[in-house]
Structure 1
Amino acid sequence: MERLERAYHDCYQIIHQHSKTFTKAFGSLPKEKRNAVWAVYAFCREVDDIVDEGNNPEEELDQFERTFAQFLSGHLPLNESKWIALHDVFTKYEMDHMAFYDMIRGQRMDLTKTKYGSLEELEHYSYHVASTVGLMLLPVLAPDNHESLRTGGIALGLAMQLTNILRDIQEDFLRDRIYLPKALMEKCGYKYSDLQAGVVNDAFIAMWEEVAARAEVLYEQALETMNGYPLDSRLQVKGSALLYRAILQSIRKNKYNVFKERHYVTLEEKEAILLEMEA
Protein backbone atom coordinates (compact mmCIF):
# COMPACT_ATOMS: atom_id res chain seq x y z
CA MET A 1 0.00 0.00 0.00
CA GLU A 2 1.57 3.29 -1.07
CA ARG A 3 2.03 6.17 1.38
CA LEU A 4 -0.93 8.29 0.23
CA GLU A 5 -3.29 5.33 -0.01
CA ARG A 6 -2.28 4.27 3.50
CA ALA A 7 -2.87 7.80 4.79
CA TYR A 8 -6.41 7.84 3.37
CA HIS A 9 -7.04 4.38 4.79
CA ASP A 10 -6.00 5.63 8.25
CA CYS A 11 -8.42 8.56 7.91
CA TYR A 12 -11.17 6.14 6.93
CA GLN A 13 -10.52 4.05 10.03
CA ILE A 14 -11.03 7.15 12.19
CA ILE A 15 -14.41 8.01 10.67
CA HIS A 16 -15.54 4.37 10.62
CA GLN A 17 -14.74 4.05 14.33
CA HIS A 18 -16.46 7.27 15.40
CA SER A 19 -19.35 7.77 12.98
CA LYS A 20 -20.76 4.83 11.05
CA THR A 21 -23.71 7.00 9.98
CA PHE A 22 -21.39 9.58 8.42
CA THR A 23 -19.38 6.76 6.83
CA LYS A 24 -22.51 5.29 5.28
CA ALA A 25 -23.85 8.68 4.15
CA PHE A 26 -20.72 9.57 2.17
CA GLY A 27 -19.37 6.09 1.42
CA SER A 28 -21.04 6.04 -2.00
CA LEU A 29 -19.18 9.11 -3.28
CA PRO A 30 -16.63 8.62 -6.07
CA LYS A 31 -13.31 7.45 -4.60
CA GLU A 32 -11.44 10.75 -4.87
CA LYS A 33 -14.25 12.74 -3.22
CA ARG A 34 -14.79 10.02 -0.63
CA ASN A 35 -11.12 10.05 0.35
CA ALA A 36 -11.18 13.82 0.67
CA VAL A 37 -14.20 13.64 3.01
CA TRP A 38 -12.36 11.09 5.19
CA ALA A 39 -9.33 13.41 5.40
CA VAL A 40 -11.43 16.43 6.44
CA TYR A 41 -13.24 14.31 9.01
CA ALA A 42 -9.91 13.14 10.50
CA PHE A 43 -8.88 16.79 10.94
CA CYS A 44 -12.18 17.65 12.66
CA ARG A 45 -12.04 14.54 14.83
CA GLU A 46 -8.63 15.46 16.20
CA VAL A 47 -9.90 18.91 17.19
CA ASP A 48 -12.95 17.31 18.87
CA ASP A 49 -10.74 14.87 20.76
CA ILE A 50 -8.46 17.65 22.01
CA VAL A 51 -11.45 19.51 23.47
CA ASP A 52 -13.18 16.45 24.91
CA GLU A 53 -10.22 14.37 26.05
CA GLY A 54 -7.10 16.55 26.14
CA ASN A 55 -5.08 16.88 29.36
CA ASN A 56 -4.53 20.57 28.71
CA PRO A 57 -7.02 21.29 25.91
CA GLU A 58 -6.44 25.05 25.64
CA GLU A 59 -2.71 24.66 25.09
CA GLU A 60 -3.19 21.59 22.88
CA LEU A 61 -5.71 23.44 20.73
CA ASP A 62 -3.36 26.42 20.40
CA GLN A 63 -0.56 24.06 19.36
CA PHE A 64 -2.82 22.33 16.84
CA GLU A 65 -3.74 25.70 15.32
CA ARG A 66 -0.04 26.58 15.02
CA THR A 67 0.59 23.21 13.37
CA PHE A 68 -2.21 23.88 10.89
CA ALA A 69 -0.68 27.27 10.06
CA GLN A 70 2.63 25.49 9.42
CA PHE A 71 0.79 23.03 7.18
CA LEU A 72 -0.76 25.83 5.13
CA SER A 73 2.59 27.58 4.74
CA GLY A 74 4.23 24.38 3.49
CA HIS A 75 6.63 24.17 6.42
CA LEU A 76 5.14 21.16 8.20
CA PRO A 77 6.89 17.82 7.66
CA LEU A 78 4.22 15.47 6.33
CA ASN A 79 4.81 12.57 8.71
CA GLU A 80 1.25 11.88 9.91
CA SER A 81 -1.54 10.34 7.86
CA LYS A 82 -4.01 13.19 8.34
CA TRP A 83 -1.52 15.77 7.07
CA ILE A 84 -0.41 13.57 4.16
CA ALA A 85 -4.02 13.04 3.10
CA LEU A 86 -5.04 16.65 3.72
CA HIS A 87 -2.11 17.92 1.67
CA ASP A 88 -3.41 15.88 -1.26
CA VAL A 89 -6.91 17.32 -0.72
CA PHE A 90 -5.63 20.91 -0.61
CA THR A 91 -3.68 20.25 -3.82
CA LYS A 92 -6.74 18.94 -5.69
CA TYR A 93 -9.50 21.25 -4.41
CA GLU A 94 -10.00 24.97 -3.71
CA MET A 95 -10.24 24.51 0.04
CA ASP A 96 -11.55 27.27 2.31
CA HIS A 97 -8.73 27.87 4.81
CA MET A 98 -10.85 30.14 7.00
CA ALA A 99 -13.45 27.42 7.55
CA PHE A 100 -10.77 25.27 9.19
CA TYR A 101 -9.67 28.14 11.45
CA ASP A 102 -13.29 29.00 12.31
CA MET A 103 -13.97 25.40 13.31
CA ILE A 104 -11.01 25.48 15.69
CA ARG A 105 -12.40 28.73 17.14
CA GLY A 106 -15.77 27.07 17.62
CA GLN A 107 -14.25 24.20 19.53
CA ARG A 108 -12.37 26.73 21.65
CA MET A 109 -15.76 28.25 22.60
CA ASP A 110 -16.68 24.96 24.27
CA LEU A 111 -13.69 25.37 26.58
CA THR A 112 -14.79 28.75 27.87
CA LYS A 113 -18.52 29.14 27.28
CA THR A 114 -21.18 26.76 28.59
CA LYS A 115 -24.36 28.88 28.45
CA TYR A 116 -25.99 31.01 25.74
CA GLY A 117 -28.19 34.06 26.10
CA SER A 118 -30.07 34.21 22.81
CA LEU A 119 -30.84 32.15 19.73
CA GLU A 120 -28.65 34.48 17.67
CA GLU A 121 -25.74 33.81 19.99
CA LEU A 122 -26.39 30.08 19.72
CA GLU A 123 -26.39 30.27 15.91
CA HIS A 124 -23.05 32.11 16.02
CA TYR A 125 -21.64 29.16 17.97
CA SER A 126 -23.38 26.66 15.69
CA TYR A 127 -21.82 28.26 12.62
CA HIS A 128 -18.36 27.76 14.08
CA VAL A 129 -18.78 24.13 15.13
CA ALA A 130 -21.04 22.84 12.34
CA SER A 131 -21.46 25.13 9.31
CA THR A 132 -17.68 25.32 9.01
CA VAL A 133 -17.54 21.57 8.37
CA GLY A 134 -19.96 22.02 5.48
CA LEU A 135 -17.79 24.82 4.11
CA MET A 136 -14.74 22.54 4.33
CA LEU A 137 -16.56 19.86 2.34
CA LEU A 138 -18.23 22.07 -0.29
CA PRO A 139 -15.19 22.40 -2.59
CA VAL A 140 -14.94 18.60 -2.56
CA LEU A 141 -18.64 17.88 -3.09
CA ALA A 142 -19.21 20.62 -5.69
CA PRO A 143 -15.80 21.67 -7.02
CA ASP A 144 -17.11 23.72 -9.93
CA ASN A 145 -19.68 25.88 -8.12
CA HIS A 146 -19.06 25.59 -4.39
CA GLU A 147 -19.18 29.35 -3.85
CA SER A 148 -22.79 29.52 -5.08
CA LEU A 149 -23.77 26.82 -2.57
CA ARG A 150 -22.16 28.53 0.40
CA THR A 151 -25.35 30.04 1.88
CA GLY A 152 -27.20 26.73 1.71
CA GLY A 153 -24.23 24.90 3.19
CA ILE A 154 -24.13 27.27 6.14
CA ALA A 155 -27.89 26.86 6.66
CA LEU A 156 -27.59 23.08 6.67
CA GLY A 157 -24.83 23.16 9.27
CA LEU A 158 -26.88 25.44 11.51
CA ALA A 159 -29.96 23.23 11.15
CA MET A 160 -28.02 20.08 12.00
CA GLN A 161 -26.37 21.65 15.03
CA LEU A 162 -29.69 22.95 16.37
CA THR A 163 -31.05 19.42 15.89
CA ASN A 164 -28.10 18.04 17.88
CA ILE A 165 -28.80 20.52 20.65
CA LEU A 166 -32.51 19.61 20.80
CA ARG A 167 -31.66 15.90 20.89
CA ASP A 168 -28.77 16.06 23.37
CA ILE A 169 -30.21 18.37 26.06
CA GLN A 170 -29.67 15.86 28.86
CA GLU A 171 -26.26 14.71 27.67
CA ASP A 172 -25.06 18.30 27.40
CA PHE A 173 -26.49 19.21 30.81
CA LEU A 174 -24.53 16.37 32.41
CA ARG A 175 -21.41 17.91 30.84
CA ASP A 176 -22.34 21.26 32.42
CA ARG A 177 -23.37 22.76 29.08
CA ILE A 178 -26.72 24.44 28.48
CA TYR A 179 -27.19 25.39 24.85
CA LEU A 180 -30.88 26.28 25.21
CA PRO A 181 -30.90 30.10 25.08
CA LYS A 182 -31.57 31.75 28.44
CA ALA A 183 -33.86 34.36 26.86
CA LEU A 184 -35.99 31.63 25.32
CA MET A 185 -36.20 29.69 28.58
CA GLU A 186 -37.38 32.84 30.33
CA LYS A 187 -39.85 33.70 27.57
CA CYS A 188 -41.47 30.26 27.77
CA GLY A 189 -41.34 30.05 31.57
CA TYR A 190 -38.98 27.08 31.71
CA LYS A 191 -36.76 27.23 34.80
CA TYR A 192 -33.24 25.96 35.44
CA SER A 193 -34.69 23.72 38.15
CA ASP A 194 -37.04 22.22 35.53
CA LEU A 195 -34.08 21.47 33.31
CA GLN A 196 -32.18 19.99 36.23
CA ALA A 197 -35.13 17.72 37.04
CA GLY A 198 -35.75 16.74 33.42
CA VAL A 199 -39.25 18.19 33.34
CA VAL A 200 -41.16 17.97 30.06
CA ASN A 201 -44.15 20.32 30.31
CA ASP A 202 -45.92 22.85 28.09
CA ALA A 203 -43.17 25.41 28.69
CA PHE A 204 -40.50 22.91 27.64
CA ILE A 205 -42.41 21.94 24.50
CA ALA A 206 -42.96 25.59 23.54
CA MET A 207 -39.26 26.34 24.00
CA TRP A 208 -38.16 23.19 22.16
CA GLU A 209 -40.53 23.88 19.26
CA GLU A 210 -39.30 27.45 18.84
CA VAL A 211 -35.75 26.21 18.29
CA ALA A 212 -37.05 23.37 16.11
CA ALA A 213 -39.03 25.85 13.97
CA ARG A 214 -35.84 27.76 13.30
CA ALA A 215 -34.07 24.52 12.38
CA GLU A 216 -36.91 23.62 9.99
CA VAL A 217 -36.57 26.98 8.22
CA LEU A 218 -32.84 26.40 7.83
CA TYR A 219 -33.37 22.88 6.47
CA GLU A 220 -35.73 24.32 3.85
CA GLN A 221 -33.18 26.94 2.87
CA ALA A 222 -30.54 24.24 2.46
CA LEU A 223 -32.81 21.87 0.54
CA GLU A 224 -33.63 24.60 -1.97
CA THR A 225 -29.97 24.52 -3.07
CA MET A 226 -29.63 20.76 -3.54
CA ASN A 227 -30.02 20.81 -7.32
CA GLY A 228 -26.84 22.85 -7.42
CA TYR A 229 -24.79 19.84 -6.36
CA PRO A 230 -23.38 17.56 -9.05
CA LEU A 231 -25.16 14.24 -9.47
CA ASP A 232 -22.35 12.26 -7.86
CA SER A 233 -22.80 14.04 -4.51
CA ARG A 234 -26.38 15.38 -4.57
CA LEU A 235 -28.10 12.33 -3.09
CA GLN A 236 -25.55 12.05 -0.28
CA VAL A 237 -25.98 15.67 0.82
CA LYS A 238 -29.76 15.69 0.42
CA GLY A 239 -30.08 12.34 2.19
CA SER A 240 -28.03 13.61 5.12
CA ALA A 241 -30.27 16.67 5.42
CA LEU A 242 -33.53 14.71 5.27
CA LEU A 243 -32.36 12.02 7.69
CA TYR A 244 -31.13 14.57 10.18
CA ARG A 245 -34.32 16.60 9.94
CA ALA A 246 -36.26 13.41 10.69
CA ILE A 247 -34.69 13.34 14.17
CA LEU A 248 -36.95 16.25 15.10
CA GLN A 249 -40.05 14.30 14.14
CA SER A 250 -38.74 11.27 16.04
CA ILE A 251 -38.49 13.36 19.21
CA ARG A 252 -42.02 14.68 18.71
CA LYS A 253 -43.36 11.15 18.22
CA ASN A 254 -41.74 10.14 21.51
CA LYS A 255 -43.40 13.03 23.37
CA TYR A 256 -40.23 15.15 23.65
CA ASN A 257 -38.62 12.66 26.02
CA VAL A 258 -35.05 13.83 25.51
CA PHE A 259 -34.12 13.36 29.16
CA LYS A 260 -34.47 9.58 29.31
CA GLU A 261 -33.48 8.39 25.87
CA ARG A 262 -31.44 9.42 22.85
CA HIS A 263 -33.51 9.63 19.71
CA TYR A 264 -32.63 8.08 16.38
CA VAL A 265 -34.36 7.69 13.07
CA THR A 266 -35.29 4.01 12.74
CA LEU A 267 -33.99 1.87 9.89
CA GLU A 268 -37.49 1.66 8.45
CA GLU A 269 -37.87 5.45 8.58
CA LYS A 270 -34.47 5.91 6.93
CA GLU A 271 -35.39 3.54 4.12
CA ALA A 272 -38.71 5.31 3.58
CA ILE A 273 -37.02 8.72 3.39
CA LEU A 274 -34.38 7.52 0.96
CA LEU A 275 -36.93 5.77 -1.26
CA GLU A 276 -39.08 8.90 -1.38
CA MET A 277 -36.04 11.00 -2.21
CA GLU A 278 -35.07 8.76 -5.13
CA ALA A 279 -38.63 8.57 -6.51
Structure 2
Amino acid sequence: MRPQSAAAELDAAGITDPALRRAYAECRALNARHGRTYFLATRLLTPDRRPAIHALYGFARHADEIVDDLGAGASTEEREAVLDELGLDLVSAFAGDDPGTQPVVTAVADTVRRHGIDPRLFSPFLTSMRMDTHVTGYATTAELDTYVHGSAAVIGLQVLPVLGSDAPAEAAPHAAALGVAFQMTNFLRDVGEDLDRGRVYLPADELAAFGVDRELLAWCRTRRTTEPRVRRALAHLVARTRAVYRRAEPGIAMLAQESRDCVRCAFTLYGGILDEIAAAGYEVLHRRVTVPRRRRLAVAGPALAHAVWTRHRP
Protein backbone atom coordinates (compact mmCIF):
# COMPACT_ATOMS: atom_id res chain seq x y z
CA MET A 1 0.00 0.00 0.00
CA ARG A 2 1.51 3.33 -1.07
CA PRO A 3 1.57 6.03 1.61
CA GLN A 4 -1.00 8.70 0.94
CA SER A 5 0.25 12.18 0.17
CA ALA A 6 -0.44 15.23 2.28
CA ALA A 7 -2.79 16.47 -0.44
CA ALA A 8 -4.79 13.22 -0.38
CA GLU A 9 -5.12 13.43 3.40
CA LEU A 10 -6.39 17.01 3.18
CA ASP A 11 -8.85 15.98 0.48
CA ALA A 12 -10.11 13.14 2.66
CA ALA A 13 -10.59 15.59 5.57
CA GLY A 14 -12.56 18.00 3.37
CA ILE A 15 -9.99 20.78 3.76
CA THR A 16 -10.18 22.73 0.52
CA ASP A 17 -9.20 26.33 1.31
CA PRO A 18 -5.67 26.93 -0.07
CA ALA A 19 -4.47 28.90 2.97
CA LEU A 20 -5.75 26.21 5.31
CA ARG A 21 -4.10 23.49 3.26
CA ARG A 22 -0.76 25.31 3.47
CA ALA A 23 -1.15 25.69 7.24
CA TYR A 24 -1.93 22.00 7.71
CA ALA A 25 0.96 21.04 5.42
CA GLU A 26 3.37 23.01 7.62
CA CYS A 27 2.11 21.18 10.71
CA ARG A 28 2.53 17.85 8.94
CA ALA A 29 6.11 18.75 8.07
CA LEU A 30 6.83 19.60 11.72
CA ASN A 31 5.46 16.23 12.77
CA ALA A 32 7.44 14.32 10.16
CA ARG A 33 10.65 16.17 11.04
CA HIS A 34 10.53 16.08 14.82
CA GLY A 35 8.22 13.24 15.88
CA ARG A 36 9.33 10.11 14.07
CA THR A 37 7.56 7.64 16.35
CA TYR A 38 4.44 9.75 16.56
CA PHE A 39 4.36 10.39 12.81
CA LEU A 40 4.79 6.71 12.06
CA ALA A 41 1.81 5.93 14.29
CA THR A 42 -0.38 8.50 12.50
CA ARG A 43 0.02 6.50 9.29
CA LEU A 44 -2.30 3.95 10.88
CA LEU A 45 -5.15 6.46 11.17
CA THR A 46 -7.75 6.92 8.49
CA PRO A 47 -6.54 9.69 6.15
CA ASP A 48 -9.30 12.10 7.16
CA ARG A 49 -8.08 12.10 10.80
CA ARG A 50 -4.39 12.65 10.10
CA PRO A 51 -4.42 16.41 9.36
CA ALA A 52 -6.01 17.19 12.73
CA ILE A 53 -3.39 15.14 14.57
CA HIS A 54 -0.65 16.89 12.62
CA ALA A 55 -2.18 20.27 13.53
CA LEU A 56 -2.24 19.47 17.24
CA TYR A 57 1.33 18.19 17.12
CA GLY A 58 2.49 21.13 15.04
CA PHE A 59 1.07 23.69 17.45
CA ALA A 60 2.64 21.96 20.46
CA ARG A 61 5.98 21.63 18.69
CA HIS A 62 5.96 25.29 17.66
CA ALA A 63 5.40 26.39 21.26
CA ASP A 64 8.19 24.08 22.41
CA GLU A 65 10.55 25.61 19.83
CA ILE A 66 9.80 29.09 21.16
CA VAL A 67 11.00 27.93 24.56
CA ASP A 68 14.09 26.04 23.40
CA ASP A 69 15.08 27.35 19.98
CA LEU A 70 14.14 31.04 19.84
CA GLY A 71 17.82 31.92 19.93
CA ALA A 72 20.71 31.45 22.29
CA GLY A 73 20.60 35.10 23.29
CA ALA A 74 16.86 35.33 23.85
CA SER A 75 15.92 36.38 27.37
CA THR A 76 13.20 34.87 29.54
CA GLU A 77 11.12 37.99 28.94
CA GLU A 78 11.51 37.70 25.16
CA ARG A 79 10.46 34.05 25.15
CA GLU A 80 7.47 34.80 27.37
CA ALA A 81 6.48 37.68 25.08
CA VAL A 82 6.51 35.41 22.01
CA LEU A 83 4.47 32.79 23.89
CA ASP A 84 2.00 35.51 24.94
CA GLU A 85 1.68 36.59 21.32
CA LEU A 86 1.02 32.99 20.33
CA GLY A 87 -1.68 32.73 23.00
CA LEU A 88 -3.38 35.95 21.91
CA ASP A 89 -3.29 34.82 18.28
CA LEU A 90 -4.89 31.53 19.33
CA VAL A 91 -7.65 33.19 21.36
CA SER A 92 -8.48 35.47 18.44
CA ALA A 93 -8.61 32.50 16.05
CA PHE A 94 -10.83 30.53 18.43
CA ALA A 95 -13.20 33.51 18.64
CA GLY A 96 -13.47 33.55 14.85
CA ASP A 97 -12.11 37.09 14.58
CA ASP A 98 -9.42 35.93 12.15
CA PRO A 99 -7.81 32.64 11.18
CA GLY A 100 -4.60 33.46 13.03
CA THR A 101 -1.43 35.00 11.72
CA GLN A 102 0.69 31.86 12.22
CA PRO A 103 0.13 28.65 10.23
CA VAL A 104 0.12 26.45 13.33
CA VAL A 105 -2.60 28.64 14.85
CA THR A 106 -4.65 28.64 11.65
CA ALA A 107 -4.55 24.85 11.44
CA VAL A 108 -5.17 24.11 15.12
CA ALA A 109 -8.09 26.57 15.36
CA ASP A 110 -9.70 24.89 12.35
CA THR A 111 -9.11 21.48 13.96
CA VAL A 112 -10.75 22.65 17.19
CA ARG A 113 -13.85 23.75 15.29
CA ARG A 114 -14.08 20.65 13.11
CA HIS A 115 -13.71 18.17 15.96
CA GLY A 116 -15.37 19.96 18.84
CA ILE A 117 -12.22 20.12 20.96
CA ASP A 118 -12.57 22.19 24.12
CA PRO A 119 -10.54 25.39 23.51
CA ARG A 120 -9.90 25.68 27.25
CA LEU A 121 -7.47 22.78 27.01
CA PHE A 122 -4.92 25.06 25.37
CA SER A 123 -4.59 27.46 28.31
CA PRO A 124 -2.90 24.98 30.71
CA PHE A 125 -0.65 23.88 27.88
CA LEU A 126 0.62 27.42 27.31
CA THR A 127 0.97 27.88 31.06
CA SER A 128 3.33 24.91 31.19
CA MET A 129 5.27 26.28 28.23
CA ARG A 130 5.72 29.57 30.10
CA MET A 131 7.01 27.59 33.08
CA ASP A 132 9.78 26.29 30.84
CA THR A 133 11.09 29.82 30.39
CA HIS A 134 12.04 30.18 34.06
CA VAL A 135 11.53 26.91 36.00
CA THR A 136 14.67 24.77 35.98
CA GLY A 137 13.62 21.93 38.27
CA TYR A 138 10.84 20.42 40.34
CA ALA A 139 11.29 19.82 44.05
CA THR A 140 8.45 17.32 44.39
CA THR A 141 6.46 14.89 42.33
CA ALA A 142 3.37 17.03 42.94
CA GLU A 143 5.08 20.08 41.42
CA LEU A 144 6.13 18.10 38.36
CA ASP A 145 2.59 16.72 38.04
CA THR A 146 1.28 20.29 37.77
CA TYR A 147 3.63 20.96 34.87
CA VAL A 148 2.85 17.62 33.19
CA HIS A 149 -0.89 18.22 33.38
CA GLY A 150 -0.49 21.18 31.04
CA SER A 151 2.33 19.84 28.91
CA ALA A 152 1.00 16.32 28.37
CA ALA A 153 -2.32 15.30 29.97
CA VAL A 154 -4.27 17.99 28.11
CA ILE A 155 -2.64 16.86 24.85
CA GLY A 156 -4.24 13.46 25.33
CA LEU A 157 -7.59 15.18 25.92
CA GLN A 158 -7.15 17.34 22.81
CA VAL A 159 -6.49 14.29 20.65
CA LEU A 160 -9.38 12.21 21.99
CA PRO A 161 -12.19 13.87 19.94
CA VAL A 162 -10.15 13.35 16.76
CA LEU A 163 -9.64 9.67 17.48
CA GLY A 164 -13.29 9.22 18.42
CA SER A 165 -14.94 7.27 21.21
CA ASP A 166 -18.43 6.06 22.05
CA ALA A 167 -17.63 6.72 25.73
CA PRO A 168 -15.52 9.90 25.77
CA ALA A 169 -16.09 10.64 29.46
CA GLU A 170 -14.83 7.18 30.42
CA ALA A 171 -11.96 7.32 27.94
CA ALA A 172 -10.75 10.79 29.00
CA PRO A 173 -8.73 9.79 32.12
CA HIS A 174 -6.97 7.09 30.11
CA ALA A 175 -6.20 9.52 27.26
CA ALA A 176 -4.76 11.99 29.76
CA ALA A 177 -2.67 9.23 31.35
CA LEU A 178 -1.27 8.20 27.98
CA GLY A 179 -0.17 11.77 27.33
CA VAL A 180 1.59 11.76 30.69
CA ALA A 181 3.23 8.38 29.99
CA PHE A 182 4.64 9.65 26.71
CA GLN A 183 5.93 12.82 28.38
CA MET A 184 7.56 10.96 31.25
CA THR A 185 9.22 8.66 28.73
CA ASN A 186 10.64 11.71 26.98
CA PHE A 187 11.93 13.06 30.30
CA LEU A 188 13.82 9.83 30.94
CA ARG A 189 15.18 9.56 27.41
CA ASP A 190 16.24 13.22 27.21
CA VAL A 191 17.56 13.80 30.74
CA GLY A 192 21.06 14.55 29.46
CA GLU A 193 19.91 16.99 26.78
CA ASP A 194 17.60 18.71 29.25
CA LEU A 195 20.53 19.16 31.62
CA ASP A 196 22.36 21.01 28.86
CA ARG A 197 19.39 23.39 28.71
CA GLY A 198 19.60 23.91 32.45
CA ARG A 199 16.52 21.86 33.32
CA VAL A 200 15.75 18.65 35.18
CA TYR A 201 12.32 17.09 34.70
CA LEU A 202 12.85 14.37 37.29
CA PRO A 203 11.37 15.10 40.74
CA ALA A 204 14.08 16.02 43.21
CA ASP A 205 12.36 14.27 46.12
CA GLU A 206 12.34 10.93 44.33
CA LEU A 207 15.94 11.35 43.19
CA ALA A 208 16.99 12.24 46.73
CA ALA A 209 15.57 8.95 48.01
CA PHE A 210 18.39 7.29 46.06
CA GLY A 211 21.07 9.82 47.02
CA VAL A 212 20.89 11.62 43.66
CA ASP A 213 20.77 15.35 43.02
CA ARG A 214 21.26 17.69 40.06
CA GLU A 215 25.00 17.93 40.72
CA LEU A 216 25.43 14.16 40.49
CA LEU A 217 23.46 14.06 37.26
CA ALA A 218 25.66 16.81 35.83
CA TRP A 219 28.78 14.94 37.00
CA CYS A 220 27.62 11.84 35.11
CA ARG A 221 26.84 13.93 32.03
CA THR A 222 30.28 15.54 32.03
CA ARG A 223 32.17 12.29 32.59
CA ARG A 224 29.98 10.23 30.24
CA THR A 225 29.24 7.65 32.91
CA THR A 226 26.30 6.53 35.05
CA GLU A 227 26.84 6.28 38.79
CA PRO A 228 25.09 3.30 40.50
CA ARG A 229 22.82 5.57 42.55
CA VAL A 230 21.67 7.22 39.33
CA ARG A 231 20.95 3.82 37.77
CA ARG A 232 18.78 2.87 40.73
CA ALA A 233 16.90 6.18 40.64
CA LEU A 234 16.26 5.89 36.90
CA ALA A 235 15.13 2.27 37.28
CA HIS A 236 12.61 3.45 39.87
CA LEU A 237 11.33 6.21 37.58
CA VAL A 238 11.08 3.81 34.63
CA ALA A 239 8.97 1.47 36.80
CA ARG A 240 6.76 4.39 37.83
CA THR A 241 6.31 5.37 34.19
CA ARG A 242 5.34 1.81 33.28
CA ALA A 243 2.59 2.06 35.89
CA VAL A 244 1.22 5.13 34.08
CA TYR A 245 1.15 3.15 30.83
CA ARG A 246 -0.86 0.45 32.61
CA ARG A 247 -3.40 3.08 33.73
CA ALA A 248 -3.66 4.36 30.18
CA GLU A 249 -3.98 1.04 28.34
CA PRO A 250 -7.69 0.28 29.02
CA GLY A 251 -8.60 3.45 27.13
CA ILE A 252 -7.40 2.05 23.80
CA ALA A 253 -10.40 -0.31 23.60
CA MET A 254 -12.68 2.68 24.23
CA LEU A 255 -11.55 4.45 21.06
CA ALA A 256 -13.22 4.27 17.67
CA GLN A 257 -12.15 0.97 16.15
CA GLU A 258 -10.34 2.61 13.23
CA SER A 259 -8.16 4.60 15.66
CA ARG A 260 -7.05 1.77 17.92
CA ASP A 261 -4.18 0.49 15.77
CA CYS A 262 -2.59 3.95 15.73
CA VAL A 263 -2.74 4.40 19.49
CA ARG A 264 -1.67 0.82 20.16
CA CYS A 265 1.34 1.34 17.91
CA ALA A 266 2.33 4.58 19.68
CA PHE A 267 1.74 2.90 23.04
CA THR A 268 4.03 0.01 22.11
CA LEU A 269 6.77 2.08 20.50
CA TYR A 270 6.95 4.68 23.25
CA GLY A 271 6.85 1.95 25.88
CA GLY A 272 9.69 0.36 23.92
CA ILE A 273 11.85 3.39 24.69
CA LEU A 274 11.67 2.37 28.35
CA ASP A 275 12.79 -1.12 27.35
CA GLU A 276 15.77 0.36 25.49
CA ILE A 277 16.67 2.56 28.48
CA ALA A 278 16.75 -0.49 30.72
CA ALA A 279 18.67 -2.53 28.15
CA ALA A 280 21.27 0.26 27.94
CA GLY A 281 21.86 0.02 31.70
CA TYR A 282 20.09 3.37 32.21
CA GLU A 283 22.95 5.18 30.46
CA VAL A 284 20.86 8.14 29.28
CA LEU A 285 23.00 10.94 30.67
CA HIS A 286 25.46 10.86 27.78
CA ARG A 287 23.54 9.16 24.96
CA ARG A 288 20.11 9.28 23.37
CA VAL A 289 18.32 5.95 23.52
CA THR A 290 16.00 5.13 20.61
CA VAL A 291 13.88 2.22 19.47
CA PRO A 292 15.77 0.52 16.61
CA ARG A 293 14.27 0.96 13.16
CA ARG A 294 13.78 -2.78 12.78
CA ARG A 295 11.62 -2.83 15.91
CA ARG A 296 9.61 0.19 14.76
CA LEU A 297 8.90 -1.58 11.47
CA ALA A 298 8.10 -4.86 13.24
CA VAL A 299 5.46 -3.08 15.30
CA ALA A 300 4.09 -0.75 12.63
CA GLY A 301 4.00 -3.26 9.76
CA PRO A 302 1.46 -5.71 11.22
CA ALA A 303 -0.49 -2.79 12.70
CA LEU A 304 -0.74 -1.18 9.26
CA ALA A 305 -1.92 -4.44 7.70
CA HIS A 306 -4.56 -4.80 10.42
CA ALA A 307 -5.66 -1.18 10.01
CA VAL A 308 -6.09 -1.60 6.26
CA TRP A 309 -7.99 -4.86 6.71
CA THR A 310 -10.26 -3.26 9.31
CA ARG A 311 -11.11 -0.33 7.02
CA HIS A 312 -11.89 -2.45 3.99
CA ARG A 313 -13.57 -5.52 5.41
CA PRO A 314 -17.29 -5.86 4.60
The normalised TM-score by structure 2 is 0.81
Q: Is the alpha carbon distance of 1:276 and 1:254 closer, same or farther for their aligned partners in structure 2, counting shifts above 3 Å?
A: farther
Q: Deviations over 1:173-226 (max 9, x none)?
A: 111111222212221112443212115233212211221122111101111121
- 2:226 maps to 200
Q: Are 2:288 and 1:262 equivalent residues in the alignment?
A: yes
| Shift in alpha-carbon separation, 1:80–1:252, aligned structure 2, 3 A | closer
Q: Could you tell me which residue of structure 1 aligns to residue 10 of structure 2?
A: none
Structure 2 partner of 1:34 = 50
Residue 244 of structure 1 corresponds to: 270
Matched ranges for 1:108-119 at <5 A: 108-119=130-141
Q: 1:7–1:181: structure 2 CA closer, same or farther, 3 Å change rule?
A: closer
The root-mean-square deviation of aligned C-alpha atoms, in Å, is 2.1
46-55 or 110-119: bigger deviation: 46-55
Change (3 A) 1:167 1:81: closer
Q: Work out whether 1:23 is the aligned partner of 2:23.
A: no
Name whichever of 234-243 and 45-54 sits farther off. 45-54
Q: Secondary structure at the match of 1:256?
A: coil
**Alpha carbons of 1:140 and 1:194: their partners in 2 closer, same or farther (altered >3 Å)?**
same
The answer to whether the 8 Å contact 2:23/2:104 transfers is: yes
Overall identity of the aligned pairs, in %: 29
1:136 is aligned, of 136, 142, 158, to 158
SS of structure 1 residue aligned to 2:94 = helix
Distance 1:185 1:84, change over 3 A: closer
Contact 1:94 1:143 in 2 (8 A): no
Deviation at 1:130, TM superposition (A): 1.5
User: 1:96: how far off?
Assistant: 1.9
Q: 5+ residue gaps in structure 2?
A: 1-15, 307-314
Q: Which whole-Å CA distance do the structure 2 matches of 1:165 and 1:212 have between them?
A: 10
Is residue 2:118 matched to residue 1:102? no
Distance 2:144 2:191 in 1: 14
The whole-number CA distance in structure 2 between the counterparts of 1:148 and 1:119 is 26
Cα distance in 2 for partners of 1:11, 1:276 equals: 27
The aligned runs of 1:1-279 (5 Å cut-off) are 2-3=17-18, 4-54=20-70, 55=74, 56-78=78-100, 80-142=102-164, 144-198=166-220, 199-274=225-300
Unaligned runs of 5+ in 1: none
C-alpha distance in structure 1 between counterparts of 2:84 and 2:125, whole Å? 13
Cα pair distance change 1:83/1:171, threshold 3 Å: closer
Q: Quote the Cα distance in structure 2 between the aligned partners of 1:20 and 1:130.
A: 18
Task: State TM-score, norm by structure 1.
Answer: 0.91
